[in-house]
Amino acid sequence: MGLATRHALGWNERVTTPMPRRVRASAAPTVLLIALFALVDPVRPASGQDLPPQPTEVSAGPIFAVEDTIPVPSALLPVQIVTAPRVTLDEILRRVAEGEVRRDSLLQDQSFTMLAALTYLDAGKGGAPATRRQWESAMQVYRKRPDKVRTVPLRTRSEFKDDDGMSVQVGPGMSEELVNFAFQPRARSRFDFRIEERHLVGDRVIYVIGFVPRSKIDPLPTGRAWIDTKEFVIVRQEFWYRDRSPSPMFFKSIDSCVIERTQVDGKWWVLSRILARVQVTSLARFAARLGKESLAPTVDFTLSIRDWKVNRGIDDAIFAAKAKK
């Protein structure tokens, strides 16, 4: 492992293989193949389901730790002692909260194009899944601190009988709470966090932090977030309500909600996409039928945000434009 990487990691750990020498010799072909794989594709997709719990506290002095989450070809590398203090989980969570606040504070104005869609998934004939785009909309959004927002509908295609069957409201806030809700200081006590994985990509270390509600009584989701520890900003998040529902009368479960961010102008991390798959209850479907609308048992919600322009200085006159009656 090179010097640059050691500094990027910044951990107090000895990078080596956990295998005893005797075992290493007999398993040489396997180790070699793993090493070759790691060289070709040093980034492993997230799974992290069966990783052991990560320590959250460290002693003040140097410690010995074994790196076992980054699939580097460690068997082939010289041993390096890194003496920098290892960042703790608490430290990561604190810095993420600060990083998100800092990110929000630097945003003055934004404009973007937002595409939203509702897709119905139903079992078609013969059990094959049938999909139907129920509603789709595109709008251009401008917003500026402290509370200015203008949304311009570009086009809408709807299969709802009522024109008000679906709409997406955009508020003036830029803090993207959907991304950082679990990491806000006041929410932290309600979740258990753990480091699931670490990815070394370029000059960055990406932590995958999993969070689970401490109590099954709370209507809170389980999920994981990818955190870029260079800026301590959340770059991606997934959460789900599989064993509970945020609104049991209407949602049976939320199988998956994926939130993706992208970087604009090399500085600003902003939402790029939200995808959610929701199972609705029979009561919700019944209520829809009363309103003479259809509702599939599974609904996908998609939001794609593009053409981001951040801090370009939007003229106040844009927000004074008269709304369509």
Interface map 92-121 toward other proteins (x if CB under 8 A): ---------------------x-x-x-x-x
Structure tokens at 259: 């939130």
What residues are paired with 307 via a beta bridge?
A: none
Tell me which of 20, 78, 126, 127 binds other proteins, using CB under 8 A.
Answer: 78
What residues are paired with 259 via a beta bridge?
A: 237, 274
Minimum CB separation of residue 103 from other proteins in Å reads 16
Number of residues engaging other proteins in binding (CB under 8 A):
84
Tell me which of 2, 20, 61, 126 binds other proteins, using CB under 8 A.
Answer: 2
Report if residue 139 touches other proteins, rule: CB under 8 A: yes
What residues are paired with 109 via a beta bridge?
A: 144
Helix (H, G, I), strand (E, B) or coil at 77: coil
Tell me which of 140, 158, 175, 294 binds other proteins, using CB under 8 A.
Answer: 140
Report if residue 10 touches other proteins, rule: CB under 8 A: no
Nearer to other proteins, 214 or 312 (CB): 214
Nearer to other proteins, 12 or 237 (CB): 237
Minimum CB separation of residue 58 from other proteins in Å reads 26
Report if residue 42 touches other proteins, rule: CB under 8 A: yes
Report if residue 22 touches other proteins, rule: CB under 8 A: no
Nearer to other proteins, 87 or 278 (CB): 278
Q: Show the CA angle centred on residue 97, arms to residues 94 and 101, nearest 5°.
A: 140
> Using CB under 8 A, which residues numbered 52 to 71 contact other proteins?
none
Report if residue 313 touches other proteins, rule: CB under 8 A: no
Question: For residue 281, which of 301, 302, 296, 300 has the smallest C-alpha distance?
Answer: 296
Tell me which of 249, 290, 292, 316 binds other proteins, using CB under 8 A.
Answer: 249
Query: Dmax over Cα atoms in the chain, in whole Å?
Result: 79
Q: What gap in Å lies between CA 30 and CA 37, rounded to an integer?
A: 11
Q: Which residues have CB under 8 Å from 84's CB, separation 6+?
A: 7, 9, 10, 11, 12
Q: Which residues have CB under 8 Å from 73's CB, separation 6+?
A: 34, 35, 36, 38, 39
Q: Side chain identity at 50, as an amino acid letter?
A: D
> Using CB under 8 A, which residues numbered 186 to 245 contact other proteins?
186-187, 189-190, 199-204, 206, 214-217, 219, 226, 228, 235-236
With CB under 8 A as the contact rule, which of the stretches 48-56, 86-94, 97-105, 302-310 interacts with other proteins? 302-310
Report if residue 322 touches other proteins, rule: CB under 8 A: yes
Chain centre to alpha carbon of residue 149: 25
Q: What gap in Å lies between CA 215 and CA 219, rounded to an integer?
A: 9
With b for 16 or more beta-carbon neighbours within 10 A and e for fewer, the 23-38 pattern comes to: eeeeeeeebeeebeeb
Q: Which helix (H) or strand (E) holds 201?
A: strand 191-201
Nearer to other proteins, 11 or 191 (CB): 191
Q: What gap in Å lies between CA 300 and CA 273, rounded to an integer?
A: 13
> Using CB under 8 A, which residues numbered 259 to 288 contact other proteins?
260, 262-263, 273, 275, 277, 281-284
Report if residue 127 touches other proteins, rule: CB under 8 A: no
